[in-house]
Structure 1
Amino acid sequence: MKIIQIMPAVDWYFKHDATVWHVAAFGLSDEGKIYGMVGAGDDGTLKTVPVMTKGSYLHRLQLTEEEIQAADKKR
């Protein structure tokens, strides 16, 4: 799989169990699938959220203030 296009994901988050991650961008793959991309590691690279990860993409308005603050600290 190769990401061929990246689009900003303003105010979008990925919630998995009790953990919330800020989604920096959505990526379109060469297979036509869309993936959420989150910051991973100290090198600033973006990684796709693994397809098998159970969770939901949620807009900022769908989260509690505590979830938003916890997610934004991970940036």
Structure 2
Amino acid sequence: MPIIVNLDVVMAQQKISLNELSDRVGLTLSNLSILKTGKAKAVRFSTLEAICQALDCQPGDILEYSDEE
């Protein structure tokens, strides 16, 4: 998939665990894990907004486009 999810990188930079992010954002661990591993097929803008707010980052910090496969 040409969209790369860098959520794990941003979380590592912020030193935040999946459990803590789940509490801050209000999403289940399984849903965040699916997003973190890049297995999600879509993400709601409200979810992206909540993650960006919790991590104090921009959507471009989390999502990246690459035309290489």
TM-score range (shorter-chain normalised) is: 0.3 to 0.5
Looking at secondary structure, tell me which structure has more strand per residue: 1
Q: Which has the larger radius of gyration?
A: 1
Of structures 1 and 2, the one scoring higher in RCO (CA 8 A, sep 6+) is 2
Looking at secondary structure, tell me which structure has more helix per residue: 2
Q: TM-score, normalised by structure 2?
A: 0.33
Q: TM-score, normalised by structure 1?
A: 0.31
